[in-house]
């Protein structure tokens, strides 16, 4: 990625050059969905698409934020006035990042910000965490302070925006390495980098949007907490096998079964990735099983995702699954070229969806 175009757009918007450009990538999940807030396991990677933020300090303690996707002059917000629940729409993410850094004790300067994203927005690829982290990284560098970026970015989403998300996106964006997947243990908060050399990885944008603050996500999270309480454990991570779910029935039983089996699938997939070359056929079957569990037990898939997974299989993929929180967004297909997957998906769903190849990329940081 080049910093030039976004620096030029900043100069055109604000009449002066930015002091720097920061970026944070989007993320895909190989397997391990809705496990993070259950102290579970996931394998993720950063995709080679990112959100860029050009920034310049202002002396008056105000923040202006513009996006190349939405031209127009935004009103300046006073840093001192920022409070949870007051900002509507996408500016809640950048402003939430600044609010969270301030709460963490970092000095936050007034800023002019210009955002440009090649991560599809609202499609389960962590566009919100990318925006939040790129802005937080810029503010931290320009303010000369220190703070835990991962924690501040989670606070921005949880406390300022009001989406009770886990740590998967932020940890992935902060710790990603080119060519690697991250095996994340959300109990110990440790990351093991694994080779991700598995042939083509294709993201299909199903053309349906999702949100993390619409209530569904919070409801799933509450169900998991209720299931853990019934079982008398601190989190569903403590449940090693589905045999131990005996007393749970109905909806709670299915939600918990997804989490327990998804952790098992992550362990299985990690073993496959550690042995290079990875057994792509078996890994594909793990992805398929994850999708079925998210569809039938966790009930967060959507019709276009189910059709995409079938179409990817028809196109020769070893496996495919929905990615992210669900209810809309993208799927990930393994082992078939993007063109073949795109063709099969369009035959199944019409011209709405798009498909593109992704490669595991590096983490967030300063670009220029
Ligand atoms: C969203 C959240 C993550 C994670 C996923 C589901 O991306 O931000 O914390 O819970 O959904 O795996």
pLDDT tens digit sequence for 232-278: 999 999 999 999 998 899 999 999 999 999 999 999 999 999 998 99
Label residue 46 left, alpha or beta by phi (over 0 means left) and psi (-120 to 50 means alpha).
Answer: beta
Whether 94 shows a pLDDT value over 80: the answer reads yes
Dist. CA 62 → ligand 1 center (Å)? 31
Q: Which atom of ligand 1 is nearest to the CA of 29?
A: 12
C-beta of residue 353 within 8 angstroms of C-beta of residue 148: no
Whether 1 shows a pLDDT value over 70: the answer reads yes
Query: What is residue 213's predicted lDDT score, i.e. its pLDDT?
Result: 85
Q: Which atom of ligand 1 is nearest to the CA of 124?
A: 7
Residue-wise pLDDT for 3-13, tens only, equals: 999 999 999 99
Dist. CA 120 → ligand 1 center (Å)? 16
C-alpha distance from residue 251 to each of 168, 258, 332 (Å) = 24, 11, 27
Query: What is residue 148's predicted lDDT score, i.e. its pLDDT?
Result: 97
Whether 298 shows a pLDDT value over 80: the answer reads yes
| Percent of the residues in the chain that have a pLDDT greater than 90, as a whole number | 94
Residues in the chain: 368
Element (H, E) at 287: helix 280-296
DSSP 61: S
Helix, coil or strand: residue 95 = helix
C-beta of residue 63 within 8 angstroms of C-beta of residue 113: yes
Query: What is residue 336's predicted lDDT score, i.e. its pLDDT?
Result: 98
Which of 72-81, 131-140, 157-166, 358-367 comes out lowest in average pLDDT?
72-81
Would you place residue 46 in the very low, low, confident or very high pLDDT band (cuts 50, 70, 90)? very high
Rounded Cα gap, residues 235 and 8, in angstroms: 48
C-beta of residue 93 within 8 angstroms of C-beta of residue 46: no
C-beta of residue 365 within 8 angstroms of C-beta of residue 4: no
Query: What is residue 245's predicted lDDT score, i.e. its pLDDT?
Result: 94
- Segment 72-91 shows an average pLDDT of 88
Dist. CA 28 → ligand 1 center (Å)? 10
Q: Which atom of ligand 1 is nearest to the CA of 168?
A: 9
Helix, coil or strand: residue 341 = helix
Q: Which of 112, 169, 205, 288 is catalytic?
A: 169
Dist. CA 165 → ligand 1 center (Å)? 6
- Segment 52-76 shows an average pLDDT of 90
- Would you call 169 a catalytic residue per the annotation? yes
The mean pLDDT of the chain is 96
Whether 73 shows a pLDDT value over 70: the answer reads no
* Residue from 325, 326, 328, 330 whose mutation best tests the ligand 1 pocket (most atoms within 8 A of CB): 325
Dist. CA 34 → ligand 1 center (Å)? 6
- Segment 165-185 shows an average pLDDT of 98
Q: Which protein residues are within 6 Å of ligand 1, measured from CB?
A: 33-34, 36-37, 126, 165-166, 168-169, 212, 324-325
Kindly report the pTM of this predicted structure: 0.97
Rounded Cα gap, residues 317 and 236, in angstroms: 32
Q: Which atom of ligand 1 is nearest to the CA of 166?
A: 9
Would you place residue 158 in the very low, low, confident or very high pLDDT band (cuts 50, 70, 90)? very high
* Residue from 166, 255, 330 whose mutation best tests the ligand 1 pocket (most atoms within 8 A of CB): 166
- Segment 202-210 shows an average pLDDT of 95
Whether 169 shows a pLDDT value over 90: the answer reads yes
- Segment 323-341 shows an average pLDDT of 97
Query: What is residue 304's predicted lDDT score, i.e. its pLDDT?
Result: 98
Rg of the chain over all Cα atoms, to the nearest angstrom: 20
Ligand 1, atom 7, lies closest to the CA of 324
Which of 72-76, 278-282, 315-319, 327-331 comes out lowest in average pLDDT?
72-76
């Amino acid at each position: 990625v080049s910093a030039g175009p976004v620096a030029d757009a900043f100069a055109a918007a604000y009449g002066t050059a930015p002091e720097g450009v920061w970026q944070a990538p989007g993320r895909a999940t190989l397997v391990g969905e809705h496990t993070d807030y259950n102290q579970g396991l996931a394998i993720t990677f950063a995709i080679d698409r990112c959100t860029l933020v050009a920034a310049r300090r202002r002396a008056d303690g105000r923040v202006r934020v513009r996006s190349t996707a939405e031209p127009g002059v935004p009103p300046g917000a006073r840093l001192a006035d920022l409070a949870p629940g007051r900002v509507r729409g996408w500016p809640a993410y950048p402003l939430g990042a600044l609010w969270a850094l301030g709460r963490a004790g970092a000095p936050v300067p007034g800023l002019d910000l210009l955002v440009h994203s090649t991560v599809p927005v609202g499609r389960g690829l962590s566009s919100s965490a990318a925006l939040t982290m790129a802005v937080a990284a810029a503010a931290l560098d320009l303010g000369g302070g220190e703070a835990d970026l991962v924690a501040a970015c989670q606070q921005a989403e949880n406390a300022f925006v009001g989406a009770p998300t886990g740590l998967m996106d932020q940890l992935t964006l902060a710790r990603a390495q080119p060519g690697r997947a991250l095996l994340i243990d959300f109990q110990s908060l440790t990351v093991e980098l694994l080779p991700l050399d598995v042939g083509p990885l294709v993201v299909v944008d199903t053309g349906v949007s999702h949100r993390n603050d619409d209530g569904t996500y919070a409801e799933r999270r509450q169900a998991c907490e209720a299931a853990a309480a019934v079982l008398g454990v601190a989190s569903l991570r403590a449940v090693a096998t589905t045999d131990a779910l005996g007393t749970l029935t109905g909806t709670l039983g299915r939600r918990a079964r997804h989490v327990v089996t998804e952790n098992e699938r992550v362990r299985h997939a990690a073993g496959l990735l550690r042995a290079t070359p990875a057994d792509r056929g078996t890994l594909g079957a793990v992805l398929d099983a994850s999708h079925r569990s998210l569809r039938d037990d966790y009930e967060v898939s959507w019709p276009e995702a189910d059709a995409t997974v079938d179409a990817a299989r028809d196109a020769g993929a070893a496996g495919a699954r929905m990615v992210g929180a669900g209810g809309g967004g993208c799927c990930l297909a393994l082992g078939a070229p993007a063109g073949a997957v795109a063709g099969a998906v369009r035959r199944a769903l019409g011209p709405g969806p798009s498909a593109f190849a992704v490669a595991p990329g590096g983490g967030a940081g300063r670009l220029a």
